[in-house]
A and B are shown apart, each in its own frame.
Chain A
Amino acid sequence: MSTNEPDLSGEPRSLIESLARHQEGLVELSQGHHGHGGPIEIVRESTYRGHHIVVRTTYSISVDDLAVEGHLGVSNDGQVHYHAIPNLGFPSAIDLVKKLIDTFPDDFGGHGQGAQHDEHEPGPDGDESGGHDDEPADHDHGHEAS
C-alpha cells in the first residue's frame, strides 16, 4: 500500500470484534432515517454568483393506503432518487413510485384495484406475483398488503 498499510484480516475474531465496536447509531442506519409518518422534506442548496440558494421540497407519498416514507432525495439536476433502489434516478416522483411497486411486490401485495386498466407493463414470466414460489417471510415488522 502507498502509505500506512491497512489492518485487514479475514479472521472471524476480527470481524466479530469490529461489529461490536460499531454499534453506535446502527439501529437508525439499518432501519432508515424516516418512517415517522410525516412528509419527507428535501433541502437543496447551491451557490450562484455569491448568492446562497436553498430550495425546500416536501413530498407526501402513498400507494393505496401505504405511506411511502423511506429516504428520498433530489439532486440539483432535479433527478429524484430513493434509498431503497440506489442505482436509479427518475425524472419524476411518480416514475419512482412505479418502480418501487415493481421492485417491492411483497410490500404492495401484488395488483391494486383496476390493475388491468392501468399503465403497468407486465414483467417477465413469474415476475408479477410477488414471489409466490417463495416461503413466507419469517419477520414480523415488514409492511404487508394494504
Chain B
Amino acid sequence: MAIRRNILTSATARDQYVEGARRLKAEHLGPTTSDLGIPGTAQQVSTWDLFVAWHHIAMSRFTPPSQTDRNAAHRGPVFLPWHRFMLILLELQFQRVLEDADFGLPYWDWAADGERPAAQQPSSAVWGADAMGGQGTPVMTGPFAFRPAQPDTWRVRLDVDVQGRLRTVNRGLRRSFATSAANLPRKSDVAAALLLTAYDQAPWSTTSGGFRNRLEGWQPAAAAPGQHNRVHVWIGGDMLPSSSPNDPAFYLNHCNVDRIWAALQTQPSSPPYVPTNSAPATLQGHRLDDQMYALLSNPVTPNQMLNADEYYSYDSLTVS
C-alpha cells in the first residue's frame, strides 16, 4: 500500500514524483483537445494535462447553477473529498507509469516552511534544483524548467484565458513567489483549524464557519487567503488560475491539505462530514452520498472518500 511521505525528508519519494510527473506529461493515450471541448485544431492531450482540464471543468460546474459561489470541487463541503478523489486517481496513474504499486504522492508541509522568516521562505529546499525548481517566467531551474531546445522540456499546453476559457498554449511554467501573499501559512493556522468543532456549516460556502472553509482558506476573512488558498497565491504564476494543476507543486499542496484532513479524522472527537443526505437539493453534489463530478473515472461519493486506508496512509499526521 502507498505511503505518502514528506518531500523534504524522502529523496526517494521526491525523485519518483519528478520522474512520474515527467512520464505522465509525455504520455498521450489518445484524448484530444476536441474531446475536452476546446475549439481549434485537435491536439493530443497528455495524461498529466487531462487532470488540468478536469480541475478546471469541475470548477466550472456551479452547484447548484443558480448561485455563483459553490462549485463541484471548491468553495463548499465537497472541497476535501473531491480533491482526495483527484489525488487517488492521479496516484494510480503514477503507480502505473512508475510500475510501482506502492508509490505514494509526496506532500509539502508548507506550515513548517511558514515558520521561517518570510524572506527565507523562497529558499526552502522544495524549490531546489533537485525538487520543484524555483520561480520565474518561465521557471528556469529544476526538472520543470523551460528549455525550448529540449524536446522533453516541461511545457504548459493547457491553461485558461482571462475569460476563464480552457485553451491550448505552448510555453514554460510560471511561478512568482510572494508577489500576491507575503508569507506561507503557519502551524498555528493549522492548529486553529483542528480545534473547530464542525466540518462545515451553513450556508456551505466561502462564508461558512467550520474546518473545511478554514483549511480551504476563505475564513477568517480578515486573514484570507489562508492555508490552501494562500499556498496557491504565494507560489503565484500558474498556481493562480483554475488550470493550477499545471504546476507539479499543486499536488504537493493538496497532498498536505489532505494530510491535515486525515489528521482531523483521527481525532477522537472528529466532526462528521456534513451535509448529510437529508440536506436540501440545493446542496446536490455536496451531500454525503451524492456523486462527485468525475471526468476521468467512475464517480465516487464523499462518503466513499472518508476513509482512504485502502489506498494510502501518511508517514506522519503531525501537522501543527
Q: Is the CB of B37 within 8 A of A138?
A: no
Q: Is the CB of B298 within 8 A of A8?
A: yes
Q: Does B88 contact A (CB under 8 A)?
A: yes
Chain A residues positioned under 8 Å from B75 (CB to CB): 86
- Give the A-B contact count at a CB cut-off of 8 A: 244
Q: In the complex, A18 Cα to B170 Cα: how many Å?
A: 27
Tell me, rounded to whole Å, the shortest Cβ–Cβ distance linking A8 to chain B.
Answer: 5
Q: Is the CB of B161 within 8 A of A88?
A: no
Chain B residues positioned under 8 Å from A100 (CB to CB): 162
Chain B residues positioned under 8 Å from A43 (CB to CB): 66-68
Q: Which of A56-111 touch B at CB < 8 Å?
A: 66, 68-77, 79, 81-89, 99-100, 102-104, 106-108
Q: In the complex, A8 Cα to B289 Cα: how many Å?
A: 17
Q: Is the CB of B169 within 8 A of A83?
A: no
Q: Is the CB of A88 within 8 A of B163?
A: no
Q: Which of B215-274 touch A at CB < 8 Å?
A: 217-218, 221, 224-225, 228-229, 232-233, 240-242, 244
Chain A residues positioned under 8 Å from B93 (CB to CB): 10, 15
Chain B residues positioned under 8 Å from A15 (CB to CB): 29, 47, 50, 93, 296-297
Chain A residues positioned under 8 Å from B96 (CB to CB): 10-12
Q: Is the CB of A108 within 8 A of B162?
A: yes
Chain B residues positioned under 8 Å from A81 (CB to CB): 69, 206
Q: In the complex, A81 Cα to B69 Cα: how many Å?
A: 9
- Of the residues A11, A27, A42, A87, contact of B225 by C-beta under 8 Å: A87
Q: Is the CB of B172 within 8 A of A134?
A: yes
Q: Is the CB of B304 within 8 A of A1?
A: yes
- Of the residues A32, A127, A133, A135, contact of B176 by C-beta under 8 Å: A127
Chain A residues positioned under 8 Å from B128 (CB to CB): none
Q: Is the CB of A30 within 8 A of B60?
A: yes
Q: In the complex, A122 Cα to B120 Cα: how many Å?
A: 21
Tell me, rounded to whole Å, the shortest Cβ–Cβ distance linking B229 to chain A.
Answer: 4
Task: Report how many residues on chain B are interfacial, defined by Cβ distance under 8 Å.
Answer: 89
Q: Is the CB of A29 within 8 A of B207?
A: no
Tell me, rounded to whole Å, the shortest Cβ–Cβ distance linking A27 to chain B.
Answer: 4
Tell me, rounded to whole Å, the shortest Cβ–Cβ distance linking B230 to chain A.
Answer: 8
- Knowing A12-B29, A29-B61, the reply to whether A104 touches B164 (Cβ < 8 A) is no
Query: B33-72 CB contact bits vs A (8 Å, 1 = yes)?
Result: 0011111110000010010010011011100001111000
Q: Is the CB of B168 within 8 A of A137?
A: yes
Q: In the complex, A42 Cα to B66 Cα: how many Å?
A: 10
Q: In the complex, A2 Cα to B282 Cα: how many Å?
A: 25
Q: Is the CB of B137 within 8 A of A136?
A: no
- Knowing A124-B176, A142-B167, the reply to whether A70 touches B162 (Cβ < 8 A) is yes
Q: Does B124 contact A (CB under 8 A)?
A: no
Q: Does B166 contact A (CB under 8 A)?
A: yes
Q: Is the CB of B174 within 8 A of A84?
A: no
Q: In the complex, A1 Cα to B96 Cα: how many Å?
A: 22
- Of the residues A84, A123, A138, contact of B163 by C-beta under 8 Å: A84
Chain B residues positioned under 8 Å from A5 (CB to CB): 304, 310
Chain A, residue nearest B97 (CB) = A10
Q: Is the CB of A87 within 8 A of B233?
A: yes
Query: A109-146 CB contact bits vs B (8 Å, 1 = yes)?
Result: 00000000000000110110101011111111111000
Tell me, rounded to whole Å, the shortest Cβ–Cβ distance linking A119 to chain B.
Answer: 15
- Of the residues B92, B295, B305, contact of A18 by C-beta under 8 Å: B295
- Of the residues A3, A6, A9, A31, contact of B39 by C-beta under 8 Å: A31
Q: Is the CB of B229 within 8 A of A88?
A: yes
Chain B residues positioned under 8 Å from A9 (CB to CB): 92, 297
Residues on A facing B (Cβ under 8 Å): 1-12, 14-16, 18-20, 22-23, 26-35, 42-43, 45, 66, 68-77, 79, 81-89, 99-100, 102-104, 106-108, 123-124, 126-127, 129, 131, 133-143
Q: List 8 A-B contacts (CB under 8 A).
A: A6-B305, A8-B300, A31-B38, A35-B165, A87-B228, A103-B241, A104-B162, A142-B165
Having A1-B307, A85-B241, one finds 14 other A-B pairs with CB under 8 Å, namely A7-B297, A8-B89, A10-B92, A14-B297, A31-B39, A31-B166, A82-B164, A84-B161, A86-B242, A87-B240, A129-B137, A133-B146, A140-B41, A141-B39
